[in-house]
Amino acid sequence: MSEPTTALVLVSHSAALAAGAAEVAAQMAPDVAIRPAGGTDDGRIGTSYDLVEQAVTASLEDEAGAVVMVTDLGSAALTAESVLEMLDDERVLLADAPFVEGAVAAAVAAQGGAGGRAVLAAAEEAASSFGPVDREDDGPPSPGSVGPEQGEVLTRTLILRNRLGLHARPAAMLARKVGEFDAQVSLNGIDAASILAIMGLGLTGGAELALEASGPEAARALDAIEADVEAGFGEE
């Protein structure tokens, strides 16, 4: 797995909100640089051009690029856009994504070594991937559903052992584990590299995990996932 090279900057009217979202995302991606830029210079509600610029500039000094996440309040977005316009650096990307869910998804992608565009895509796909998965009419995933022309598809069925199931922490562990291998992995019909899709399954202790994997390291990926599942993701 590659080392993280993309930082996150979280812009909000509230310093507490930006710091809290950064804290949550950091739990999922401990090696990613995540910089909150919330509130005004003197700690009031609002946004500060200088704070955002400092966070973005620091990210570019330390990392290969940065993805900027913004709450949906208008002036926060305008401040971030102004900073990006002045910097005029193609390594800085502005995400149109839900703030917390997007930050978590982006952080997990960055933790796996994804570049700026891939991290941006992970953030922007968060809105559609987070939520319950209704497969009532779809039936079980068909063999080979991981992706077309991926070669042999390996399958494995496991039982979720930790009582609380695939909540945020183990979902992040699973998504990061998938990212360590040259393989495409699905879990109960969804992309197992997506933390939000995993959480959206709502799986609790005792649930069945139907895994499919293809690619050069498919068997190794399944072995590693099975080891984590059997260990209860460290929560037993």
Nearest to 190 by CA among 209, 164, 173: 209
Q: What is the rounded CA–CA span in Å between residue 45 and residue 101? A: 22
> Which two tokens mark 185?
């992995």
Q: What is the rounded CA–CA span in Å between residue 120 and residue 109? A: 9
Measure CA 85 to chain center: 26
> Which two tokens mark 122?
């992970």
Question: Which amino acid is located at 218 in the chain?
Answer: A
Longest dimension (CA), the chain: 59
Question: Which amino acid is located at 210 in the chain?
Answer: A
**Distant-in-sequence, close-in-space partners of 81: CB < 8 Å, separation ≥ 6:** 94
**Distant-in-sequence, close-in-space partners of 22: CB < 8 Å, separation ≥ 6:** 8, 10, 34, 35, 36, 103
Residue 167 annotated to the active site: no
> Which two tokens mark 77?
């977005």
Choosing from 13, 35, 156, 176, which is the catalytic residue?
Answer: 13
Measure CA 175 to chain center: 8
Task: Specify the residue for token string 């069925």.
Answer: 157
Show which residues are catalytic. 13
